[in-house]
Amino acid sequence: MIELVKAKLSDIPAMQALVVSEVKDGIILNRTEDEVATNIRSYVLAKDGDKLVGYTALHVHSRRLAEIRSLIVDEAYRGQRVGQRMVQFTLDEAKNIGVEEDVLVLTYLPQFFLNLNFKEINKEVIPEHKIWADCIKCIHFPICNEVALVYKLA
């Protein structure tokens, strides 16, 4: 049974190991161990016993906007609703902490999020601080093929 739990600092090496190929391919942004540690409270992990099989993070930009980041599921566990459960966990968390309007995601797999009631938006409406804080670190910047979607909380 796969359990969703909040991340601990001791989970960082396994988290980093899980995303190596996706970071190399530019699917997920590279985050240093220090960046992950700084934001450790943002992460939710999917664990099968002691084995890390996936994770994601909820990053809050403002009272009105949060973002789902770094969603990853081990290939052997894909198709088992692990990603869907983690997204729902982050949406519930956004509501619980009082995010007022939207949860944003940038993805190469828009259909996954469309199936979860996210709606595609134009990337030009994404706050500028998001672009300069994260997108500039991407190997694909400035030519971005990701799709922007939001989930309306209100």
C-alpha pair distances (Å), 106 with each of 9, 12, 110, 121, 148: 26, 23, 8, 10, 5
| 137 phi, psi to nearest 5 deg | -80, -10
Residue 129, pLDDT above cutoff 60: no
Q: What is the pLDDT of residue 142?
A: 57
Answer yes or no: are the C-beta atoms of 44 and 91 closer than 8 Å. no
Which has the minimum average pLDDT: 25-29, 53-57, 68-72, 84-88? 25-29
pLDDT tens for 53-74 read: 999 999 999 999 999 999 999 9
pLDDT band at residue 83 using 50, 70 and 90 as cut-offs: very high
* Closest to 53 (Cα-Cα) out of 93, 13, 82, 79: 82
Structure tokens given for 101: 């309007």
- Given a cut of 60, whether residue 47 has pLDDT beyond it is yes
pLDDT over threshold 70, residue 134: no
